Amino acid sequence: MELTHIPFIKNALKNRYPQLAVFIVMLVGYIFAILAGLIGTPVGSHNFSIVFVWIAWWAILILIAVPFFGRGWCAVCPIPLPGEWLQRGAILSPPDKRPKWLNLRVPKMFRNIWLQNISFLLLALFSSVLLTTPNITGIVLAAMLFAAIGLSTVFERRAFCRYLCPVGGFIGLYSQTAPIELRIKDKQVCVNCEGKPCYNGSSAGYGCPWDVFPGGLTKNTYCGLCMECIRTCPHDNIAVNLRPFSADLAKPTTRMDEAFKAFIMLGSAIIYAGVLLGPWGMLKDAAYNVGSGAWFIYAAVFLAIIFIVLPGLFTLGILNTKNTLPLKHRFASLSTALIPLGLVFWVAFSLSFVLTNASYILAALSDPLGLGWNLFGTANIAWQPMLTSILAPAQTLALVGGLIWSARTAQKAASETHTSPIPVIIYCFILTAVMLWLLL
């Protein structure tokens, strides 16, 4: 179903003002989160930065935005805005004269998501400190903003979003499961289109900030839903469609960076469930005491699980499959089945701490800087876990549903690569059992 058939939606997407209004609100919120992290109370559970970024934003992102809107968050994310405005020399339509930044193309060796994998892992290894220490959160948020500005002045388009953002990598991976997509209507129109303004820009708008030629879009992974191509296409050939869930997964990836992203996300969800929600105090101490001997062991085990144990077991599983395709190709293709599984692992894990800690949101809202305010009369609301009675059933339902979803995806990927899906399904079953054990 084409959403852009509806005039209200199409006009709202083409017009720059609604988007700008959302951008300004987001940018203000983001800067405030940085400040609150730096000058607010150092008590994480009462600091606006911690509560709004790691509880409220994370809940919205992983429970709503990614599963239902794919890269919907990227469409309103404030991080690239200051850099992009500098790069373009304008906030709205293209100016007559563009500023002379370096505007370099990102070197070919970095044109993949390995840097995003590394940046995510870096944050993941320090996550126990990052998620609980407001000034560290403030510094990381500020660093991302300044990194995006710096890269915008050196490289063309949104180099930070496309190649470095630790969040953008997994949003892209999981956006393939979302029931929304931006695609062209008629390929022949793009073939015959002169100048390809959707990629190169025109007076109507900018060339794709995500360095994607919309005419070649077959999956959501790298389309940031910025809607610039809807503005620049002179043939009205771009559509935003509703579609079945996980439509993109019918076309398995062949890229190792994307395959490893699936393992990184899957492994991180399992490790987080053990470290942050499990009863093992020693593990929590090791994860929290950054720089200590225990932390180095924790980091080594973390990386070994993600880069050796999980991919190793997966490879062993598919090794015996009789097939003429190279193992690397099969590994990448069949790892597509881990995408829905990883997403529901994160949903199940996030439900735990979001429902447990959501009551902090109201308190932080009333006293965001920890100055003793009570703006909305909610500053003294006591901590109270929410909906605890439905937590375990909801997590079980999500994990079992995810397993079925992954099994279906494995079947499709296996038929594409002419292999048996059974080893992948068994692999997913074992990991789901581990996750159930950790969470319940």
Partner 1 sequence: MKRSELLSRLIVAVAVIGVVGAPLYLWSRTPIIHARMAENGGWSPDVLQAEVGKPLHLKITSDDVVHGFAVGQMDMQSVDILPGKVAGITLTFDKPGIYTFFCTRWCGLNHWRMRGTIEVTGASDTIPSD
The residue behind tokens 């940031």 is 224
Q: Which is nearer to partner 1, 316 or 375 (CB)?
A: 375
Instruction: State which residue, 345 or 360, has the beta carbon closest to partner 1.
Output: 360
Which residues are bridge partners to 182 per DSSP? 240
Largest Cα separation within the chain, whole Å, is 68
Per-residue tokens: 27: 């940018």
Cβ closer to partner 1: 303 or 369? 369
d(CA 178, CA 249): 10
Supply the minimum distance, in Å, between the C-beta of residue 28 and partner 1.
Answer: 5
Q: How far is the CB of 84 from partner 1 (least distance, A)?
A: 12
CB 399 within 8 A of CB 410: no
CB closer to partner 1 out of 27 and 422: 27
Cα(368)–Cα(372) distance, rounded to whole angstroms?
9
Per the CB < 8 A criterion, the answer to whether 423 and 330 are in contact is no
Cα separations (Å) of 183 from 67, 269, 299, 335? 18, 31, 41, 25
Closest CB 32 distance from partner 1, rounded Å: 5
Looking at residue 156, the DSSP 8-state letter turns out to be S
Q: Which is nearer to partner 1, 12 or 35 (CB)?
A: 35
Q: Which of 242, 269, 440 is nearest to 338 (CA)?
A: 269
Tell the smallest beta-carbon distance from residue 43 to partner 1 (Å): 3
The answer to whether the CB of 189 falls within 8 A of the CB of 235 is: yes
CA dihedral 421, 334, 222, 151 (to 10 degrees): 150
Q: How far apart are CA 365 and CA 375, in angstroms?
A: 8
Of residues 91 and 430, the one with the C-beta less far from partner 1: 91
Residue indicated by tokens 């997403």: 343
Cα-Cα-Cα-Cα dihedral sign, residues 134, 139, 143, 146: positive
Q: Whole-number minimum distance, CB 353 to partner 1, in Å?
A: 18
Helix axes 422-439 and 256-277, enclosed angle (nearest 10): 20
Q: Which is nearer to partner 1, 79 or 269 (CB)?
A: 79
- Tokens 């579609």, residue located: 243
Min dist. Cβ of residue 134 to partner 1 (A): 10
Closest separation in Å from C-beta 421 to partner 1:
50
> Do 337 and 413 contact (CB within 8 A), yes or no?
yes
CA distance 168 to 223: 11
Give the residue ranges of DSSP H helices in 131-255.
134-154, 159, 166-175, 187-192, 197-200, 228-232
Closest CA relative to residue 221, chosen from 264, 268, 186, 255: 255
User: What residues line the site for partner 1 (CB under 8 A)?
Assistant: 20, 24, 27-28, 31-32, 35-36, 39, 41-43, 45-47, 85, 90-93, 95, 367, 369-372, 379-380
Q: Is 167 helix (H, G, I), strand (E, B) or coil?
A: helix
Q: Which is nearer to partner 1, 109 or 382 (CB)?
A: 382
| Cβ nearer to partner 1, comparing 181 with 367 | 367
> Cβ neighbours of residue 386 under 8 Å, at least 6 residues apart?
355, 356, 358, 359
Q: Report the residue number, 81 or 347, with the smaller CB distance to partner 1.
A: 81
Decide: 178 and 245 in contact? Cβ < 8 Å. Answer: yes
Q: How far is the CB of 94 from partner 1 (least distance, A)?
A: 10
User: In angstroms, what is the minimal distance from the CB of 39 to partner 1?
Assistant: 5
* CB closer to partner 1 out of 47 and 152: 47
Nearest-approach distance from CB 203 to partner 1, in angstroms = 12
| Residue recorded with tokens 């059974």 | 422
> Least distance from C-beta 312 to partner 1, angstroms?
43
